[in-house]
């Protein structure tokens, strides 16, 4: 499973280049569009890098400790991503695009961060949660990609 996930995530990041080309205009990207593109790249490339991490960690750490370390790294990454996202969403709070989706995904991400740190503490099983965090990042990247595609289509229809 961890071998396929980085490939999927990098593919999603590659498609972000299509969004840049399709949405390129003389005025450039708005700050909200820049944030959305950065968020797409962070989630997809984050999934790719975290998906490659088990092969490195397993070389240096005992097999029974590796899942806990992977959950800790994934938890810190998702925490930083959630804080960064929350700060930027607060900046763009006047922008009503897909507010229910933003809130739902944000809540689920914070819930996953808590679950990852509970796995580090030994309360929850770390194997399943690390895999869940990787799939979560891919899912969020795919959702963000489709949001950008819809925004690109709407922008071309308006022009």
Output the pLDDT for position 38. 82
The percent of residues in the chain predicted with pLDDT above 90, rounded, is: 28
Sign of CA dihedral 99, 105, 106, 111: positive
Residues 3 and 88: their CA atoms lie apart, in Å, by 32
Buried b (16+ CB within 10 A) or exposed e, 30-67: eeebebbbebbbbbbbbbbebbebbeebeeeeeeeebb
In the block, residue with structure tokens 């929850």? 124
Mean predicted confidence (pLDDT) in 88-103: 69
* Cβ(92)–Cβ(35) below 8 Å: yes
pLDDT at 24 over 70: no
Residues 29 and 20: their CA atoms lie apart, in Å, by 9
Q: How confident is the model at residue 73 (pLDDT cuts 50, 70, 90)?
A: very high
* Cβ(126)–Cβ(67) below 8 Å: yes
Query: What radius of gyration do the chain's Cα atoms show?
Result: 17
> Is the pTM for the entire model greater than 0.75?
yes
Could you please report the per-residue DSSP string of the chain?
A: -TTHHHHHHHHHHHHHHHHHHHH--TT---HHHHHHHHHHHHHHHHHHHHHHHHHHHHHHS-TTTHHHHHHHHHHHHHHHHHHHHHHHHHHTTT--TTHHHHHHHHHHHHHHHHHHHHHHTTSS-HHHHHHHHHHHHHHHHHHHHHHHHHHHHHHHHH-
């Amino acid at each position: 499973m961890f071998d396929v996930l980085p490939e999927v995530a990098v593919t999603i990041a590659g498609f972000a280049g299509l969004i840049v080309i399709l949405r390129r205009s003389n005025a450039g990207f708005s700050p909200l569009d820049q944030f959305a593109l950065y968020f797409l790249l962070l989630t997809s490339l984050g999934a790719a890098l975290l998906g490659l991490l088990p092969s490195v960690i397993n070389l240096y750490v005992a097999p029974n400790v590796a899942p806990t370390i992977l959950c800790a790294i994934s938890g810190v990454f998702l925490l930083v991503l959630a804080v960064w996202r929350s700060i930027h969403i607060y900046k763009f709070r006047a922008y009503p695009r897909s507010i229910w989706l933003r809130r739902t995904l944000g809540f689920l991400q914070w819930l996953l961060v808590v679950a990852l740190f509970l796995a580090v503490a030994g309360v929850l099983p770390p194997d399943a949660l690390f895999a869940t965090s990787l799939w979560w990042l891919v899912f969020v990247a795919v959702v963000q990609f489709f949001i950008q595609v819809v925004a690109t289509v709407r922008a071309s229809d308006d022009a």
